[in-house]
Amino acid sequence: MVELDDRRRAEGFAFLAAFAACIPAANWLIQNVGTVCVPDGVCLIPVAPGIMAPSGVLMIGLALVMRDLVQRRLGVRWAVAAILCGAIASAFLAPAALVVASTVAFLMSEFADLAIYTPLQRRRLMLAVLLSSLIGLVIDSAVFLYLAFGSLTYVEGQVIGKAWMVLLAMPAIWWIRERDQRLGLSPAAR
């Protein structure tokens, strides 16, 4: 049992590190990587035919999944601490004009993710990750765009870009669930 607890904690801290890395990665991507980079603006990537989004949306979608995994391995307290630290990091790393929008959107989306994921995850991990992430990414996109620009004009691209990362992570979530069941590795206590 001690070995499984050690394994759960080690994986939890790895997921926590990945979650923490998503925030600076999103800010770096949005300013440096894209098929189109607007001078003194954001870099864009195609997320669907004819739909572009800032490249940072990929990491924000992944952050929602990583937060779920932090909670699964380390518990709710660690997940809340990760959200609060992530909001602080977002405030320091976002471009000055977007600090409030970035920070508020991050806090609202991650806490919505937590509220949906928590009751579902013990019985239906795949559903919990998918639903909580999808709700979180819609909230993140809408809140960010409204606060930053007073418009939801680009919400479609934001949602699609983030959803791609959630969907790409689902096979890994399935593998984790199956392995946890095989090993008898239960989620962290609340």
Measuring CA to CA, how many Å separate 121 from each of 16, 109, 188? 18, 17, 11
Q: For residue range 37-46, list pLDDT tens digits in order.
A: 988 778 999 9
Burial of 131 (0-12, 13-18, 19+ CB in 10 A): middle
Q: What per-residue string of b and e applies to 138-171 under the rule 16 or more CB within 10 Å gives b?
A: bbbbbbbbebbeeeeebbebbbbbbbbbbeebee
Residue 187 structure tokens: 């989620």
Residue 7 structure tokens: 């394994």
Q: For residue range 136-176, list pLDDT tens digits in order.
A: 999 999 999 999 889 898 899 999 999 999 999 999 999 99
Phi and psi at 83, nearest 5°, equal: -60, -45
- Placement of tokens 């993140």 in the chain: 140
Calpha distance 117→60 (Å, rounded)? 17
CA angle 110, 76, 6 (to 5 degrees): 125
Contacts of 102 (CB under 8 A, 6+ apart): 90, 91, 94, 144, 148
Calpha distance 23→18 (Å, rounded)? 9
Domain ranges of the chain: 2-183
Per-residue pLDDT of the chain (190 residues; tens, 9 = 90+): 668 788 889 999 999 999 999 988 988 898 899 999 988 778 999 999 999 999 999 999 999 999 999 999 999 999 999 999 988 888 887 777 778 888 899 999 999 999 999 999 988 999 999 999 999 999 999 999 999 889 898 899 999 999 999 999 999 999 999 999 898 887 876 5
CA angle 23, 25, 30 (to 5 degrees): 100
